[in-house]
Amino acid sequence: MEIMDALAPERVKILSSRTKQDALRELIRLLADSGTISDSQELERLIMEREALMSTGIGLGIAVPHARLPEVQVSVIAFGTVREGIPDYESIDGSSVRIVCMIITGTQRQREYIELLSSLARVFKDESARERVLQARTSSELWAALRHEISGTLS
């Protein structure tokens, strides 16, 4: 599955949150408000359970929280940035998280999750790509920057 197939402009946002839990809730609200999921409380429960097991802060200022929901037929991504960073995210390298990419897949779609995660890693391993995305000041600028970075890296 391609990243751009899982993303949509209504699921991309400059986050106002300053804590891990608030950032996760803000992305869950994006998914609910866009009609992508119907049970935001269940998704929040699953996301928080996963975070309690091990932080999804994978380093380089990036976090990839994820969950599987039976209602999801096509994997989706909610994407947010926090310019100042989220220091309490407990990232594996100790860095503040500035990019949060929430992946929601169906219960039988583990392969799609791995494909999306791999593609995201290729895009954001480049520091200049991360910085260009973080320069966006509005959600529409963020959407344009994401499209540019993803198409430039994966095409």
Domains of the chain: residue spans and CATH: 3-154 (3.40.930.10)
Enumerate the β-bridge partners of residue 73. none
pLDDT of residue 154: 61
- In the chain, the percentage of residues whose pLDDT exceeds 90 is 86
| 56 confidence band (pLDDT: 50, 70, 90) | very high
Residues 6+ apart with CB under 8 A from 94: none
* Count of beta carbons in the 10 Å neighbourhood of residue 39: 13
What is the CB-side half-sphere exposure of residue 7 using CA atoms within 13 A? 22
pLDDT, tens only, 59-72: 999 999 999 998 88
Please report the pLDDT score of residue 1 as a whole number: 86
What per-residue confidence (pLDDT) applies to 88? 94
Q: Which of 78, 65, 77, 62 is nearest to 127 (CA)?
A: 62
User: How far is 106 from 113, CA to CA, in rounded Å?
Assistant: 9
pLDDT digits (tens, 9 = 90+) for 114-147: 999 999 999 999 999 999 999 999 999 999 999 9
- The 3-state DSSP class for residue 118 equals helix
pLDDT digits (tens, 9 = 90+) for 85-108: 999 999 999 999 999 999 999 988
* Residue 134 structure tokens: 């973080």
Whole-Å CA distances, 135 to 62, 73, 119, 139: 15, 33, 21, 11
